[in-house]
Amino acid sequence: MKTNDLIRSIAFTLGNDERRSFLTMTKACYSMLQQKKARESGNSLVKLALQMQSQWFFFKIWVYSLYLWLTWTGPSRKMVA
């Protein structure tokens, strides 16, 4: 089973929006990669740079999540009566 299919299946079973699940998976994968890089690096300056890079990445993901939320539920969306 491919990752896409697995995420869709989990999202459907839990009743979640699959788009949100993709964002969650992206954050988890990125965190694990950054943690691995930090463990492999002995330099505290490199670890600090990785931490700053991670925070920037998560901020961009947050902004994108906000954009998606506004486009899905924002005032421009018409209400169905």
Residue 29 maps to a domain: yes
Residue 80 maps to a domain: no
Residue 18 maps to a domain: yes
Residue 79 maps to a domain: no
Give pLDDT, residue 77. 56
Please state, in angstroms and rounded to a whole number, the distance separating the CA atoms of residues 32 and 27. Answer: 9
Give pLDDT, residue 81. 45
Residue 67 maps to a domain: yes
Quote the percentage of the chain above a pLDDT of 70. 81
pLDDT digits (tens, 9 = 90+) for 28-59: 889 999 999 999 988 899 999 999 999 999 99
Q: Which of 8-12, 17-21, 57-61 has the lowest mean pLDDT?
A: 17-21
Least Cα distance to 29 among 6, 49, 9, 58 occurs for 58
Total of domains in the chain: 1
Residue 9 maps to a domain: yes
Domain assignment of residue 23, given as a range? 3-73
pLDDT band at 78 (very low <50, low <70, confident <90, very high): low
